[in-house]
């Protein structure tokens, strides 16, 4: 009986560690669908996010690449056909999550506000008022237990 109690106590002690990380989310406030691939050491399946829909994944470390890029396009095959894409990337590093945004092959959301809002108000947000990256570094950091949410076609301006 003591052995069983010790195992249960050990598992219970690990439970807070397992839930000590937040989530990365992409919320589609646009009036059109968007397409997302979660990319680390490999490419995940395409996810269609309908208008008013959301994609969410738990923050995690990719052993092959170190980080994750949520690649978002407005074309169904956009990752593979050279379409403009917005990359919302994060790296989980111990008790810190580093996050940023960038565009590749053009500005997929030109004319629409994009913002990354961390759940912890002490962490810095990223905001692109016109859907185009401003100059300078976009890399921010926050506690790993915080959620970070990219809002596409956000109502609030920067």
pLDDT, tens only, 25-48: 999 999 999 999 999 999 999 999
Q: Look up the pTM and report it.
A: 0.86
Could you please report the per-residue DSSP string of 79-148?
Answer: TTTT--EEEEEEEEETTEEEEEEEEESS-TTTTS-EEEEESSTTSPPEEETTSSPPSS---EEEETTS-E
Q: Residue 62 in contact with residue 97, Cβ under 8 Å?
A: no
For residue 158, count other CB atoms closer than 10 A to its CB.
Answer: 13
User: Binning pLDDT at 50, 70 and 90, where does residue 15 land?
Assistant: very low
The topology (CATH level 3) of 22-152 is: Thaumatin (2.60.110)
Q: Residue 39 in contact with residue 69, Cβ under 8 Å?
A: yes
Q: In the chain, what are the domain boundaries?
A: 22-152
| Local structure of 5: helix, strand or coil | helix
Q: Which two tokens stand for residue 82?
A: 């050279």
- Look at residues 86, 52, 92 and name the one whose alpha carbon lies nearest to residue 71: 86
- The percent of residues above 70 in pLDDT, for the chain, comes to 88
Q: Which two tokens stand for residue 124?
A: 């810095």
> Beta strand pairing status for 23-28 and 148-152?
parallel
In this prediction, residues 128-148 reach a mean pLDDT of 92
Residue 114: is its pLDDT beyond 70?
yes
């Amino acid at each position: 009986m003591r052995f069983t109690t010790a195992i249960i106590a050990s598992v219970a002690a690990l439970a807070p560690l397992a839930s000590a990380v937040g989530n990365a989310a992409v919320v589609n406030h646009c009036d059109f669908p968007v397409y997302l691939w979660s990319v680390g050491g490999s490419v995940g399946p395409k996810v269609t996010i309908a208008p008013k829909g959301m994609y969410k994944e738990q923050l995690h470390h990719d052993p092959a690449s170190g980080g994750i890029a949520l690649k978002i396009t407005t074309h169904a095959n956009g990752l593979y056909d050279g379409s403009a894409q917005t990359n919302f990337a994060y790296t989980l590093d111990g008790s810190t999550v580093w996050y940023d945004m960038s565009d590749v092959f053009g500005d997929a959301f030109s004319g629409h506000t994009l913002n990354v809002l961390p759940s912890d108000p002490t962490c810095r947000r990223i905001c692109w008022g016109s859907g185009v990256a401003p100059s300078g570094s976009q890399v921010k950091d926050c506690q790993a237990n915080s959620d970070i949410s990219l809002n596409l076609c956000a109502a609030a301006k920067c």
